[in-house]
Amino acid sequence: MPRVKRSTKRSDRRKKILKRASGYFLTKSKLYQAAQEAVERGLKFAYTGRKQKKRQFRSLWIVRVGAAAVANGISYSQFIHGLKLAGIELDRKVLADIAVKDAAGFTSLVKQAKDAVAAAKTKAA
């Protein structure tokens, strides 16, 4: 069996892992095997964190829109339903931004949503 001469590949690979592990506690930043396990674990958390970030922001937007809607005298679900009936296609991110930065604009959206819900009720009756 021939002798394997790894040249700098092995040290480069180890250096890359140890560089990623810098800042970890005790042996996790010093010893290769412990560092490798810690880095893999950290990458796994980073991957799931990127997915959770999207969920968390959407729920934050919903809370902000809901609070602004209740302040204007309508529930969140009725507000969203009214926007759909009125044909206003704004996503929750934009609605939350309007609710925080432009109270008058949000009030006009609430008025349009209320009018659309009322029109749908009279049409159904």
For the stretch 8-66, pLDDT in tens is 998 999 999 999 999 999 999 999 999 999 999 999 999 999 999 999 999 999 999 99
Nearest 10 degrees: Cα torsion 57, 24, 18, 36 = -80
Q: Cβ neighbours of residue 109 under 8 Å, at least 6 residues apart? A: 83, 88, 90, 95, 98
Q: Is residue 38 part of a domain?
A: yes
Cβ atoms of 82 and 112 within 8 Å: the answer is yes
Q: Is residue 1 part of a domain?
A: no
Q: In total, how many domains does the chain have?
A: 1
Q: Is residue 101 part of a domain?
A: yes
Q: Cβ neighbours of residue 60 under 8 Å, at least 6 residues apart? A: 96
Q: Is residue 31 part of a domain?
A: yes
Please count the other Cβ atoms lying within 10 Å of the Cβ belonging to residue 108. 11
Q: Is residue 3 part of a domain?
A: no
d(CA 77, CA 66): 8
Is residue 119 pLDDT above 90, yes or no?
Answer: yes
